[in-house]
Amino acid sequence: MGAPLQIDVLTLFPGMLDGFLSESMMKRAAEAGAVTIRRINLRDFATDAHRTTDDRPFGGGPGMVLKPEPVFKAVEAVRTVGSRVILMTPQGRRFDQATARRLAGERHLILVCGHYEGVDERVRQVLVDEEISIGDYVLTNGALPAVVVIDAVVRLLPGVLGGVGAADADSFSAGMLEYPQYTRPAEFRGLRVPEVLLSGDHATIARWRAEQSRRRTAERRPDLMQQEGQADDEHKIA
Protein backbone atom coordinates (compact mmCIF):
# COMPACT_ATOMS: atom_id res chain seq x y z
CA MET A 1 0.00 0.00 0.00
CA GLY A 2 1.34 3.44 -0.94
CA ALA A 3 1.01 6.76 0.85
CA PRO A 4 -2.45 7.29 2.38
CA LEU A 5 -4.96 9.60 0.78
CA GLN A 6 -5.13 12.81 2.82
CA ILE A 7 -8.62 14.31 3.22
CA ASP A 8 -9.18 17.58 5.06
CA VAL A 9 -12.77 18.60 5.79
CA LEU A 10 -13.23 22.34 6.40
CA THR A 11 -16.48 22.87 8.26
CA LEU A 12 -18.21 24.83 11.00
CA PHE A 13 -19.44 21.55 12.49
CA PRO A 14 -16.55 19.08 12.76
CA GLY A 15 -18.48 17.10 15.39
CA MET A 16 -20.92 15.95 12.72
CA LEU A 17 -18.17 13.69 11.35
CA ASP A 18 -17.19 12.06 14.65
CA GLY A 19 -19.48 9.04 14.57
CA PHE A 20 -18.96 8.43 10.86
CA LEU A 21 -15.17 8.42 11.13
CA SER A 22 -15.02 6.25 14.24
CA GLU A 23 -17.14 3.36 12.95
CA SER A 24 -17.04 0.55 10.43
CA MET A 25 -15.10 0.94 7.20
CA MET A 26 -13.80 4.46 7.83
CA LYS A 27 -12.23 3.40 11.10
CA ARG A 28 -10.67 0.32 9.50
CA ALA A 29 -9.39 2.29 6.51
CA ALA A 30 -7.67 4.80 8.79
CA GLU A 31 -6.19 2.07 10.99
CA ALA A 32 -4.90 0.27 7.88
CA GLY A 33 -3.15 3.42 6.69
CA ALA A 34 -5.24 3.83 3.54
CA VAL A 35 -6.55 7.29 4.45
CA THR A 36 -5.92 10.13 6.87
CA ILE A 37 -8.90 12.38 7.56
CA ARG A 38 -8.71 15.65 9.47
CA ARG A 39 -11.62 17.77 10.64
CA ILE A 40 -10.74 21.46 10.34
CA ASN A 41 -12.94 23.92 12.24
CA LEU A 42 -13.41 27.07 10.17
CA ARG A 43 -14.05 29.05 13.33
CA ASP A 44 -10.41 28.55 14.28
CA PHE A 45 -9.50 30.74 11.30
CA ALA A 46 -11.88 33.61 12.03
CA THR A 47 -10.17 37.00 12.24
CA ASP A 48 -11.99 38.51 15.23
CA ALA A 49 -12.37 37.75 18.94
CA HIS A 50 -15.93 36.49 18.44
CA ARG A 51 -14.79 33.92 15.82
CA THR A 52 -17.26 35.33 13.31
CA THR A 53 -17.58 33.23 10.16
CA ASP A 54 -20.67 34.70 8.50
CA ASP A 55 -22.19 38.06 7.63
CA ARG A 56 -25.23 39.55 5.87
CA PRO A 57 -25.18 39.45 2.06
CA PHE A 58 -24.39 42.66 0.19
CA GLY A 59 -27.48 43.83 -1.68
CA GLY A 60 -29.82 42.47 0.96
CA GLY A 61 -31.77 39.26 1.09
CA PRO A 62 -32.42 36.49 3.61
CA GLY A 63 -29.86 34.45 5.52
CA MET A 64 -26.14 34.80 6.06
CA VAL A 65 -23.12 34.18 3.85
CA LEU A 66 -19.92 32.41 4.88
CA LYS A 67 -17.16 35.03 4.97
CA PRO A 68 -14.10 34.64 2.72
CA GLU A 69 -11.41 35.27 5.35
CA PRO A 70 -11.71 32.06 7.41
CA VAL A 71 -12.10 29.89 4.32
CA PHE A 72 -9.03 31.39 2.62
CA LYS A 73 -6.93 31.11 5.78
CA ALA A 74 -8.02 27.49 6.39
CA VAL A 75 -7.36 26.34 2.83
CA GLU A 76 -4.00 28.09 2.73
CA ALA A 77 -3.04 26.47 6.06
CA VAL A 78 -3.63 22.89 4.85
CA ARG A 79 -3.02 23.08 1.11
CA THR A 80 -0.03 21.17 -0.24
CA VAL A 81 1.41 20.51 -3.68
CA GLY A 82 -1.14 18.36 -5.47
CA SER A 83 -4.11 19.32 -3.28
CA ARG A 84 -7.53 19.39 -4.92
CA VAL A 85 -9.95 21.85 -3.33
CA ILE A 86 -13.61 20.87 -3.64
CA LEU A 87 -16.59 22.99 -2.62
CA MET A 88 -19.66 21.06 -1.50
CA THR A 89 -22.57 22.98 -3.00
CA PRO A 90 -25.96 22.21 -4.61
CA GLN A 91 -24.75 24.27 -7.58
CA GLY A 92 -21.92 21.82 -8.29
CA ARG A 93 -21.59 18.96 -10.75
CA ARG A 94 -23.63 15.97 -9.64
CA PHE A 95 -21.49 13.39 -7.84
CA ASP A 96 -21.32 9.93 -9.40
CA GLN A 97 -19.26 6.75 -9.29
CA ALA A 98 -16.91 7.93 -12.01
CA THR A 99 -16.11 11.04 -9.97
CA ALA A 100 -15.54 8.93 -6.86
CA ARG A 101 -13.14 6.73 -8.81
CA ARG A 102 -11.25 9.77 -10.11
CA LEU A 103 -10.97 11.35 -6.67
CA ALA A 104 -9.71 8.08 -5.20
CA GLY A 105 -6.64 8.58 -7.37
CA GLU A 106 -5.79 11.97 -5.86
CA ARG A 107 -3.17 12.54 -3.15
CA HIS A 108 -4.90 15.24 -1.10
CA LEU A 109 -8.54 16.33 -1.07
CA ILE A 110 -9.73 19.48 0.70
CA LEU A 111 -13.51 19.50 1.10
CA VAL A 112 -14.96 22.94 1.84
CA CYS A 113 -18.37 22.68 3.46
CA GLY A 114 -20.70 25.59 2.80
CA HIS A 115 -23.36 26.76 5.21
CA TYR A 116 -26.07 29.40 5.57
CA GLU A 117 -26.86 30.89 2.14
CA GLY A 118 -23.55 29.66 0.74
CA VAL A 119 -20.02 31.02 0.58
CA ASP A 120 -18.63 34.32 -0.61
CA GLU A 121 -18.21 34.09 -4.40
CA ARG A 122 -14.50 34.94 -4.13
CA VAL A 123 -13.94 31.51 -2.57
CA ARG A 124 -15.23 29.94 -5.79
CA GLN A 125 -13.24 32.30 -7.97
CA VAL A 126 -9.85 31.84 -6.34
CA LEU A 127 -9.63 28.72 -4.16
CA VAL A 128 -11.85 26.01 -5.61
CA ASP A 129 -10.79 23.45 -8.22
CA GLU A 130 -14.24 21.92 -8.60
CA GLU A 131 -17.72 22.03 -7.11
CA ILE A 132 -19.70 18.91 -6.22
CA SER A 133 -23.37 18.34 -5.44
CA ILE A 134 -24.79 15.03 -4.18
CA GLY A 135 -28.26 15.76 -5.58
CA ASP A 136 -30.86 18.30 -6.55
CA TYR A 137 -31.88 19.29 -3.04
CA VAL A 138 -30.59 21.62 -0.33
CA LEU A 139 -29.20 20.61 3.08
CA THR A 140 -28.42 22.82 6.06
CA ASN A 141 -24.67 22.56 5.52
CA GLY A 142 -22.01 20.79 3.49
CA ALA A 143 -20.76 18.37 6.17
CA LEU A 144 -23.28 15.67 5.23
CA PRO A 145 -22.45 15.80 1.50
CA ALA A 146 -18.76 15.66 2.44
CA VAL A 147 -19.43 12.45 4.37
CA VAL A 148 -21.10 10.94 1.30
CA VAL A 149 -18.14 11.83 -0.91
CA ILE A 150 -15.61 10.51 1.60
CA ASP A 151 -17.42 7.19 1.95
CA ALA A 152 -17.72 6.68 -1.81
CA VAL A 153 -14.05 7.57 -2.37
CA VAL A 154 -12.41 5.74 0.53
CA ARG A 155 -14.11 2.41 -0.21
CA LEU A 156 -12.33 2.46 -3.60
CA LEU A 157 -8.85 2.80 -2.12
CA PRO A 158 -6.65 -0.30 -2.46
CA GLY A 159 -7.16 -2.78 0.36
CA VAL A 160 -10.11 -1.05 2.03
CA LEU A 161 -12.79 -3.51 0.89
CA GLY A 162 -10.54 -6.53 0.87
CA GLY A 163 -9.46 -8.28 -2.31
CA VAL A 164 -8.57 -6.73 -5.64
CA GLY A 165 -11.70 -5.84 -7.63
CA ALA A 166 -14.01 -6.02 -4.61
CA ALA A 167 -15.93 -2.94 -5.81
CA ASP A 168 -15.99 -3.83 -9.51
CA ALA A 169 -19.54 -5.22 -9.45
CA ASP A 170 -21.03 -2.29 -7.50
CA SER A 171 -23.95 -0.43 -9.02
CA PHE A 172 -22.71 2.22 -11.50
CA SER A 173 -19.15 0.78 -11.60
CA ALA A 174 -19.85 -0.87 -14.96
CA GLY A 175 -22.41 1.72 -16.04
CA MET A 176 -25.37 -0.33 -14.80
CA LEU A 177 -27.08 -1.30 -11.56
CA GLU A 178 -25.84 -4.33 -9.64
CA TYR A 179 -27.56 -7.70 -10.01
CA PRO A 180 -29.73 -9.10 -7.14
CA GLN A 181 -27.83 -10.61 -4.21
CA TYR A 182 -28.87 -13.54 -2.00
CA THR A 183 -27.43 -15.32 1.02
CA ARG A 184 -28.42 -18.18 3.36
CA PRO A 185 -30.96 -19.63 3.96
CA ALA A 186 -31.76 -20.92 0.48
CA GLU A 187 -35.47 -20.69 1.30
CA PHE A 188 -37.06 -18.05 3.52
CA ARG A 189 -40.82 -17.72 4.09
CA GLY A 190 -41.53 -19.61 0.91
CA LEU A 191 -39.12 -17.54 -1.20
CA ARG A 192 -36.28 -19.51 -2.77
CA VAL A 193 -32.95 -18.35 -4.02
CA PRO A 194 -32.75 -18.74 -7.84
CA GLU A 195 -31.52 -22.24 -8.62
CA VAL A 196 -28.78 -20.95 -10.90
CA LEU A 197 -26.98 -19.46 -7.89
CA LEU A 198 -26.95 -22.86 -6.19
CA SER A 199 -25.67 -24.71 -9.26
CA GLY A 200 -21.96 -24.12 -8.79
CA ASP A 201 -21.67 -23.35 -12.53
CA HIS A 202 -19.73 -20.10 -12.42
CA ALA A 203 -20.02 -19.33 -16.12
CA THR A 204 -23.80 -19.72 -16.01
CA ILE A 205 -23.98 -17.64 -12.83
CA ALA A 206 -21.95 -14.88 -14.50
CA ARG A 207 -24.32 -14.81 -17.48
CA TRP A 208 -27.36 -14.74 -15.17
CA ARG A 209 -25.93 -11.87 -13.18
CA ALA A 210 -25.13 -9.88 -16.32
CA GLU A 211 -28.68 -10.37 -17.62
CA GLN A 212 -30.20 -9.45 -14.26
CA SER A 213 -28.04 -6.34 -14.14
CA ARG A 214 -29.22 -5.26 -17.60
CA ARG A 215 -32.85 -6.01 -16.75
CA ARG A 216 -32.77 -4.15 -13.43
CA THR A 217 -31.09 -1.14 -15.02
CA ALA A 218 -33.65 -1.05 -17.85
CA GLU A 219 -36.51 -1.14 -15.35
CA ARG A 220 -35.17 1.30 -12.76
CA ARG A 221 -32.65 3.54 -14.54
CA PRO A 222 -33.26 3.44 -18.30
CA ASP A 223 -31.21 6.63 -18.59
CA LEU A 224 -28.12 4.58 -17.73
CA MET A 225 -28.92 2.15 -20.53
CA GLN A 226 -29.12 5.06 -22.96
CA GLN A 227 -25.75 6.36 -21.78
CA GLU A 228 -24.24 2.90 -22.14
CA GLY A 229 -25.61 2.63 -25.66
CA GLN A 230 -24.25 6.03 -26.60
CA ALA A 231 -20.83 5.07 -25.23
CA ASP A 232 -20.87 1.85 -27.26
CA ASP A 233 -21.81 3.76 -30.43
CA GLU A 234 -19.00 6.27 -29.88
CA HIS A 235 -16.54 3.41 -29.38
CA LYS A 236 -17.66 1.79 -32.63
CA ILE A 237 -17.32 5.06 -34.52
CA ALA A 238 -13.83 5.59 -33.08
Per residue in 154-176, pLDDT (tens digit) is 999 998 986 555 556 565 566 88
Residue 170 is predicted with a pLDDT of: 61
Which residue of the set 69, 117, 131, 228 is catalytic? 117
Give the percent of the chain with pLDDT over 90: 81
> Is 155 an active-site residue?
yes
> Is 96 an active-site residue?
no
Residue 167 is predicted with a pLDDT of: 58
Q: Radius of gyration over alpha carbons of the chain, in Å?
A: 22
Which residue of the set 39, 70, 145, 155 is catalytic? 155
Which residue of the set 131, 151, 170, 178 is catalytic? 170
> Is 207 an active-site residue?
no
Residue 238 is predicted with a pLDDT of: 37
Q: Thinking of the domain 5-154, which architecture would CATH place it in?
A: 3-Layer(aba) Sandwich (3.40)
Q: Where are the beta strands (DSSP E) in the chain?
A: 5-11, 35-41, 54-55, 65-66, 83-94, 108-113, 130-133, 187-188, 191-192
Residue 191 is predicted with a pLDDT of: 94
Extents of the domains making up the chain: 5-154, 187-237
DSSP 163: S
Contact 27, 34 (CB under 8 A): no
- Mean pLDDT to the nearest integer, 91-120: 94
Residue 168 is predicted with a pLDDT of: 60
Q: 54-63, 90-99, 169-178: which range is least confident on average?
A: 169-178
Give the percent of the chain with pLDDT over 70: 89
Contacts (Cβ under 8 Å, ≥6 apart) of 65: 54, 55, 56, 57, 116, 117, 118, 119, 120
Contact 84, 106 (CB under 8 A): yes
